[in-house]
Structure 1
Amino acid sequence: MKRIFAIMGVLALGAALGGVALQVSPGARSVFAWIAPPRHEKQTSTQAEPAVQKDASSPSASKGEPGKPPDGLITMASEQIEAQGIEIAIVEKGILARRLTVPGTVTLDMDLVARVPGRVVGTVTQLRKRLGDSVAQGEVVAVLDSREVADAKSEYLTASVGFDLRKTMYERAQILWAKKISAEQQYLQSRATFLEAELRLDLARQKLSALKLDPAEVEKAAKQESALKSGVSSLREYEIRSLIGGRIIERKVDVGTLIGNQGDPPDLYTVADLSLVWIELAAPTADLDVIQEGQTVEITSGRDSGKRGVGRIIFISPLVDPDTRSARLIAQIDNKAQIWRPGSVVTARIVTKEEPVDVRVPRIALQTIGGEHVVFVRTPNGFLRRAVTIGRSDEQDVEIISGLSTGEQIAVKNTFLLKAELGKGD
């Protein structure tokens, strides 16, 4: 115990001497330096370290730290955007359209449908086209064996030969009468015979024309038959040609079928040009005031939403069906791609009014967060939520009054995924 008090006394004496040393000269301070314990400086330096650390963690030292990211920022790599099927589009001007939706049915354009008639009495010997085959205008599609055609060709050939003979005799009689070698009565008789042969030839030529036969072709075929000495059997053949180009949609006869008589099939084929088709629509009477000929019609398939097309109204019936209280409309649509099949059911949207807007975005690009309409603007590292003010709209697009400008890129598909991602961050 006495030892402890002795140590404490020595320490107190050293502290007093240290205080005195602060007031004396530097030389005197060195005399008392031996009294201070050697570990005193280490303790002092150790006690000073926390003060330095505290200063480093003070608010003044944290001013250089980066700030927090802006609200609504979604970091997403390009690979993630593509994998989730998020499509991006540029904001542009556009037109909002008022549409009237009505049901419709695809039908043939009746201006582009033609039947292939037999024209003569005969028997079908060849059918050169099948169902679905394409044909050109004037192409031979069938061949008949017809006695009527043979008689018409023979009559023309006979009249042609008789005309040439009577013409030669008339020219000779005319020369003899001019030289006073023959009597005038003989000349007049020869002239009458020539005029009769000419009339007979004209009648035979008209009969061939009624059968759509070329007299020159008939004479050429007769000469070939005569040179080959194969008889006149080819005179019975009658070629049936298509009146228009298109596709065979119906065949009504078979080989060996008799046609032309009463009770026989009147037609061989039905040909339709399917490059254009009609859409028959039924519009309620209450909507007829806003429908006009020439208006645009957007056509979509009832079963396959991928089939889309644009046509125009070409006919509005002046009559109203008393049972359905609707009027018949016809729209014409291009069908060169052969995607519209007559008889199929479609949905038609008649554009009754168009309004231009400065900023237009698809309706599916909008999301509602916290009672606000927002879009997701593309950034270098992902997307940024931005609140917008909407205006007019139609079934597909919406006008943006404020919050967005043309030329910016926004997400236009699967935006609900971005909304969900933003919810995770919150």
Structure 2
Amino acid sequence: MKAIVRYSVFILVAAALAYGGYRMLLPATSKTTPTEKAEKEEHADSVALSDAKIQAAGIELAKASPGVLRDSLLLNGIVQPNQESLVQVTPRFPGIVRDVRKRIGDVVQKGDVLALIESNQSLTQYELKAALAGTVIDRQTTLGEYVSEQKPAFVIADLSTVWVDFSVYRRDLKRVSIGDQVFIDPADGGTAIEAKVSYLSPVGSSDTQSAIARAIVTNSEQRLRPGLFITGRLTLSAKKVGVAVKSSALQTVENRTVVFVRNGEKFDARDVEIGERDPHLVEIIFGVLEGDVYAAQNSFIVKAEMAKGAGSDEH
């Protein structure tokens, strides 16, 4: 019986020694130190992008700065010629058009000859002249056509100013006043055009249940073309904030709201606390300082590049 016990003990000791030797042969499992963990987290929250790559990706850089947040009302409208700077040129006597000198789109000066008309009464020709400087926007006559004082032959408009007529629905009429600021989108990719409401129609349209709010807009660069639809954002209130960034700069990383701030050759993901916002700007209460350069447009590309870097660190 004692021999059996001694044999069992021997077997257990041998097994333990064998297991210990096996463990010694296994590769050691590395543990991440707190310092290494912090370095890895810091690396995961930043990514290096060269200036060439930033330009190629279309990433817009902007500086965080004080801004104005606007509570606004989006309005749809149409561009019209300024009716106070428009003239209809009508023949003085009925007759036949013998020559046409100007066409739609031509820029004319006051006194320029538009057409030659042979009078039916005297059978002599007389000149039909422009009554003001501007652009020919309509022509209702052709060579050899009979014309009379009953119908305008040409319409000339000075397009250096135009009317923008916005439709304001009845529910919003109490919110709109003469003198209100409006930012007009010219749809040419340029900056918005600032103007003010100068007229509110005293009557409305039964079909659309809306009334006209008109802005007279300087148009020296011809950015607005009569006949085209337009959108405008009417300012209802404005609030100045200490630091603001574009709304497109905000991204979400691991349930955190961040802004990618340029630091040397890298972008750092800065956790931010945001305040009020409008369709274009966001107030930054904490996380970004005035003067910080950040990714304003296409910031999602920075996020994607950062995710690639974090993924490569895991291997």
TM bracket, shorter-chain basis: 0.7 to 0.9
Richer in helix (by share)? 1
TM-score normalised by L of structure 1: 0.58
* Residue 134 of structure 2 corresponds to residue 251 of structure 1: no
SS at match of 2:182: strand
| CA distance in 1 between partners of 2:61 and 2:146 (Å) | 66
| CA distance in 2 between partners of 1:320 and 1:237 (Å) | 47
Q: 1:267 to 1:371 in 2, by over 3 A?
A: same
Instruction: Name the counterpart of 2:240.
Output: 356
Asked which structure has the greater CA Rg, the reply is 1
The 8 Å contact of residues 359 and 406 in structure 1, kept in 2 or not, is answered as yes
Instruction: Name the counterpart of 1:5.
Output: none
SS at match of 1:107: strand
| CA distance in 1 between partners of 2:96 and 2:58 (Å) | 64
* Residue 173 of structure 2 corresponds to residue 288 of structure 1: yes
Shift of 1:95: 0.8
Shift of 1:390: 0.6
* Residue 307 of structure 2 corresponds to residue 419 of structure 1: no
* Residue 82 of structure 2 corresponds to residue 109 of structure 1: yes
The 8 Å contact of residues 96 and 120 in structure 2, kept in 1 or not, is answered as no
* Residue 151 of structure 2 corresponds to residue 266 of structure 1: yes
Instruction: Name the counterpart of 2:118.
Output: 145
SS at match of 2:76: strand
Deviation by residue 1:258-282 (Cα, 9 ceiling, x = unmatched): 444xxx6432211122222222221
| CA distance in 2 between partners of 1:80 and 1:252 (Å) | 56
The 8 Å contact of residues 106 and 343 in structure 1, kept in 2 or not, is answered as yes
What is the root-mean-square deviation in Å for CA atoms of aligned residues?
2.6
Instruction: Name the counterpart of 2:28.
Output: none
User: Partner amino acid for 1:319?
Assistant: V
Shift of 1:242: 0.8
User: After the TM superposition, which residues 293-308 of structure 1 pair with which residues of structure 2 at under 5 Å, given as runs?
Assistant: 293-300=178-185, 304=187, 306=189, 308=192
Deviation by residue 1:287-320 (Cα, 9 ceiling, x = unmatched): 122211222222236xx56265333222111223
Shift of 1:399: 0.5
Q: 1:266 to 1:405 in 2, by over 3 A?
A: same
| CA distance in 2 between partners of 1:388 and 1:256 (Å) | 73
Count of aligned pairs: 272
> Which of residues 214, 219, 224 in structure 2 aligns to 1:330?
214
SS at match of 1:340: coil
User: After the TM superposition, which residues 2-401 of structure 1 pair with which residues of structure 2 at under 5 Å, given as runs?
Assistant: 68=39, 70=42, 72-146=45-119, 236-260=124-148, 265-300=150-185, 304=187, 306=189, 308-401=192-285
| CA distance in 2 between partners of 1:419 and 1:243 (Å) | 61
Deviation by residue 1:183-215 (Cα, 9 ceiling, x = unmatched): xxxxxxxxxxxxxxxxxxxxxxxxxxxxxxxxx
| CA distance in 1 between partners of 2:279 and 2:133 (Å) | 40
User: Partner amino acid for 1:306?
Assistant: G
Structure 1 unmatched runs, 5+? 1-64, 151-232
Identity %: 33
SS at match of 1:328: strand
Q: 1:321 to 1:403 in 2, by over 3 A?
A: same
Shift of 1:361: 0.3
TM-score normalised by L of structure 2: 0.77
Richer in strand (by share)? 2
Structure 2 unmatched runs, 5+? 1-35
SS at match of 2:221: coil
Shift of 1:354: 1.3
